[in-house]
Amino acid sequence: MKKEKSIFVKAGYLLGILFCLVASVSLVYASYLMINWTVSEHPDISYYGYETSGQYSDYPSTRYNCDEKSWLKNESNEVINRFEIKRIDYEDSKKKFFASSGIENQLDAYYVWGDEYNLLIGIFNELVNTYNKDSIFFDTCDNTFSTTIETKRGYLDNEEKSMDKEFRILKPKAEVEGYVFD
Amino acid sequence: MKKYNITFESLYAISMIILFSVVYLTILVLAFAFLYDGYLEWFANKQGSGYGFYTGVIGLILLVGIFWALFPKKKEGIILEKKDAPKLFELVDKAVAKTQIHPINSIRLVPGSSIAVTGLFNKQLLVGIASLRYITEKDFEAIFYHEIGHFAAKDTKIGSFLGVYFETLEKQYISSVNFWNYSPHYAIAIIGLPSLAMTWLLMHLFSFLYAPYSKFREYKADEFAAAHSNPKQFANALVHYSSYTYAHDVIMPQIIVQLLSENKKLTNVYATMTNYWHKENAEASMNAVLSDKEQFRDSHPSLQNRLKNLDVTKIGDNEGKTLKTMFPQFEKFEEQLSDNYTIRIGINAGLLDRSTKSLD
């Protein structure tokens, strides 16, 4: 009654054994990954993260209570206003420098220009500090504020380059006149 | 020292058991990981996969299936005592002694027609009540040796072990189907689709992988039975047994449905069925089982292939008294198990409500 198995039957069993083993190893690895994920650290949900990823664009604002921190918006508006007022003074001082003549007048006007620039920088820093008080609020409820900051940062960078350029022209003239710089 | 024979089949069985076990554990891990993901998002306010609601629901469906499978089904039938069928117990004891297997713990009369064995530690012989009137003592003896062959090869142990996995998948599949059926809206029902698809695929994969091994074990049990009775006696018994089970499972239900729709009272459905067991039905059953073609996913080989494996080409009759003569009060048992069979057929035919428990 004992019959010899055909080559196809043997091959079938071998294929089955191979399939079972490969599938088992793959599933063990999948289980390992799942267990690893489960026991890993799961940070608190950051709705800010959803916003920057581009998904659920309206999701965070529905969870974040914007009204509760509306005072931050008022504060940012107030600092922006002060920056704009100070910028008028700064632009005036810059114009006076370019209108001045004679090395002594030019140097005086340059220092006033520099002082106004530093005052403007001080207000710019207030803008950044206001943003840092609650960046999630500004990104969620008033995303124009960060754009405003970046625009002003660009403006100040250009102004600084402009001041450096003028000083490089002014310095050799002043040194010829006997002025000494640190 | 015991000598182990490593064959392709045993290696296949081991790899299959490993795979089924790993699948079971993976589903367990998946269910808990998904539930945890849902918990993270909805209760702990922590970052999970970002799909916590969906994974939470799927995890819950899978977990329901796992726990549900842990509750054993209510066992049907009647446990026989020696006084109920002394000759049957004698026959069983004789066969057990001859084959030197561990004793069988109990014999249970069950609704239906099959003769089978089951049990991981508690060895049980199941005798379908419908078989009492149709097979002879010699038929039963030969079939019983086939069943002992399963005990001897520890098939029932492997079967019980794998049965847990099959049942878990089945329960998870039913849980997924119920979720689909009872969801108030398609948008919600669709959440359960991944678990429905996964369990359906795994159920089919399991039965696909198990089928060749199961057939191999049947051939081995046939050879065991042929060796302990004789090939001719076993082949005769096998054909008659297959023939009446086919009649019982395929032809008789049609008659029962007709009788039920005519509002006939069926106190003893098994006695009623004998009135319809005439030559025409017997021939139809015999032809059906002998011409049946084997499919890859069948758990048993076709009758043709089983006879071929035994090198038997001619079928005869195992003369003798029918099995019912071993039971002094067999009609009492038939009546006790009658409603169970009738109700099952009535429900399947849509004639009886699913909650029907009795025909009184």
Give me the residue spans of the domains in chain A.
7-53, 68-176
Identify the pLDDT of residue B57: 92
Which one of A3, A10, A20 has the shortest CB-CB distance to B19? A20
Q: Give the mutation candidate from B9, B14, B17, B22 for the A interface (greatest A CB count, under 10 A).
A: B22
Confidence at B127, pLDDT banded by 50, 70, 90: very high
Residue whose token pair is 């040194």: A175
A21 vs B contacts (CB less than 8 Å): 15, 18-19
Which one of B41, B212, B310 has the shortest CB-CB distance to A1? B310
What is the sign, positive or negative, of the torsion defined by CA atoms of B323, B329, B335, B336? Answer: negative
Q: For the segment B326-348, what is each residue's pLDDT rounded down to a tens digit? A: 998 889 999 999 888 899 899 98
Task: Measure in Å the smallest separation between the Cα of B198 and chain A Cα atoms.
Answer: 14
Cβ-Cβ contacts under 8 Å for B352 (sequence gap 6 or more):
B260, B343, B346
CA angle, residues B16, B21, B27, in degrees to nearest 5: 125
3-state secondary structure of A3: coil
Find the residue in B nearest to A38 (Cα): B33
Other CB atoms closer than 10 Å to residue A172's CB: what's the count? 8
Find the residue in B nearest to A15 (Cα): B12
State yes or no: pLDDT of B51 exceeds 90. no
Stated as kind and residue range, the H or E segment containing A117 is helix A103-133
State yes or no: pLDDT of B316 exceeds 70. yes
Other CB atoms closer than 10 Å to residue A125's CB: what's the count? 11
Identify the pLDDT of residue A23: 96
Interchain CB distance below 8 Å, A44 and B23: no
What six digits make up the tokens of B20? 């089924």
- Give me chain B's average pLDDT, please: 89
Question: Chain B contact for A24, CB < 8 A?
Answer: yes
Distance CA A23, CA B19 (A): 7
Are the beta carbons of B234 and B146 closer than 8 angstroms? yes
- Delimit the domains of chain B by residue range: 1-360
Distance CA A119, CA B133 (A): 110
Q: For the segment A71-108, what is each residue's pLDDT rounded down to a tens digit? A: 888 888 899 999 999 999 999 999 999 999 888 899 99
Distance CA B228, CA B220 (A): 12
Identify the pLDDT of residue A52: 43
Q: Give the mutation candidate from B5, B16, B26 for the A interface (greatest A CB count, under 10 A).
A: B26
Indicate the pairing of strand B106-110 with strand B124-128. Answer: parallel
Q: Give the mutation candidate from A10, A27, A29 for the B interface (greatest B CB count, under 10 A).
A: A27
Are the beta carbons of B222 and B242 closer than 8 angstroms? no
Confidence at B27, pLDDT banded by 50, 70, 90: very high
Are the beta carbons of B252 and B157 closer than 8 angstroms? no
Interchain CB distance below 8 Å, A21 and B18: yes
> What pairs with residue B322 in β-bridges?
B136
Task: Measure in Å the smallest separation between the Cα of B148 and chain A Cα atoms.
Answer: 19
Identify the pLDDT of residue B279: 83
The per-residue b/e assignment along A25-60, b for 16 or more CB within 10 angstroms, e otherwise, is eebeeebeebeeebeeebeebebeebbeeeeeeeeb
Identify the pLDDT of residue B3: 56
Interchain CB distance below 8 Å, B36 and A21: no
Closest CA to B15 of A12, A19, A30: A19
Identify the pLDDT of residue B204: 94
Question: Chain A contact for B19, CB < 8 A?
Answer: yes
Mean pLDDT of B71-79: 84
Regions of chain A where pLDDT drops below 50: 48-62
Distance CA B342, CA B267 (A): 10
Distance CA B155, CA B84 (A): 28
Write down how long chain B is: 360
What six digits make up the tokens of B13? 């069985």
Question: Chain B contact for A13, CB < 8 A?
Answer: yes
Mean pLDDT of B204-214: 93
